[in-house]
Amino acid sequence: MKTWLITGASSGLGLEMTRILLARGDRVVACARRVAPLAELQARHGERLRVAQFDLTDTAALRREVDAAFAAFARIDVVVSNAGYGLFGAAEEVSDAQIERQLSTNLTASIQLVRAVLPHLRAQGGGRLLQVSSEGGQAAYPNFSLYHASKWGIEGFLEAVAQEVAPFGIEVLIAEPGPTETGFGTGLDQAPPMAVYDDTPAGQVRRGIADGSFAIKGAAVRTAAAMIQAADADTMPRRLALGSTAFDNIQRVLQARLEELQSQRAVAYAADKV
């Protein structure tokens, strides 16, 4: 039996992971702002489910609940940083308040979660961190610029953290799902559109979201199960693309990026000291 701490556990992938883990007999610390969706699971699984209600952007509350969770369960094997939301709009359209909310939720709060759990993971001799990112941590779409800023940012943070904490037996997995049936699209925080972007790639993506032609191929249950399987594996990957859309898009942008880099070899080397 393993013990997991999951943020954003009341909906989407976090809720699916919580259901799967409890059904197989594990213990879960489910963290969420809204805990009503967890009531039925709490009644069914009792002490194997600890529900922690707080806003992840409240760093003091986050640290308090993390400390309480590690005190309640002698060991937490896997910490899943899943909470987040999407901001939709061209960079010029979104408000200052929307930018602050996007980065404080998806980036700063995720950073603070990692910082809060690391002393406990070190003290227990190791553990695993699973960051739910997105194909949007490697590829980019028009109208998601601030969302991408948060995902590219947290991936860079964890690439460095993984190197810092490897000597303590702490491992990092970055999951990168593509568009998945989690209600993400209906929960988008949308900026008021500017007409000047109607006939641009931003306008095309806006219409695709509105009329449903923006393809959502990922299955939430299968995606959640794949993340659990990866976190359980003896050898855990650093990154895990999930869904055909994610795999194809990430492969395409990485190949293009590598080709561009290789074409610049002479220029790059010429910048060295003689």
Our measurement of the distance from residue 221's CA atom to the centroid of its chain's CA atoms, rounded to an integer in Å, reads 16
Select which of 85, 147, 197, 269 is catalytic.
147
d(CA 45, CA 35): 15
Beta-bridge partner residues of 130:
80, 173
Q: Are 95 and 191 in contact (CB under 8 A)?
A: yes
Q: Are 214 and 253 in contact (CB under 8 A)?
A: no
Helix intervals (H) in 38-189: 39-45, 59-72, 96-103, 109-123, 145-165
Specify the 3-state DSSP secondary structure of 239: strand
Helix axes 96-103, 145-165, angle to 10 degrees: 30
Beta-bridge partner residues of 79:
5, 129
Q: Which of 215, 218, 214 is nearest to 242 (CA)?
A: 218
Active site residue 147: yes
**Would you please indicate which residues are annotated as catalytic (active-site) residues?**
147
